[in-house]
Amino acid sequence: MACVKAVRQPDLVLITWSRNPLVPGSARRIISVRVIGSAEPCKATLVPNGLLSAALACLLDDFKIVYKKKTSNVSGYLLLQRFRNR
């Protein structure tokens, strides 16, 4: 009998963010989040209107940014992938 090893799919987090266009230098805030797999232990930081900097402070311990795009001067999105297994 052959042993079949399951391939674990990567954990991905897609974050859409924006900042207040009327306040120069305002903080980037989360607009929406889509998680494929798990975002633990950072799930609590991934909330609409939460600070992107707080979410990234947690996520970058286990994830790396694999794609980022500014869609305007005040908005953009990030795609992060877990780089170590938990």
Give the pLDDT confidence of 33-61 residue by residue, as tens digits: 999 999 999 999 999 999 999 999 999 99
- pLDDT at position 1, please? 60
pLDDT higher than 70, residue 17 = yes
> The pTM is what?
0.86
62-81 pLDDT per residue, tens: 999 999 999 999 999 999 99
Cα distance between residue 45 and residue 82, in whole Å:
16
What pLDDT, on the 0 to 100 scale, is given for residue 85? 56
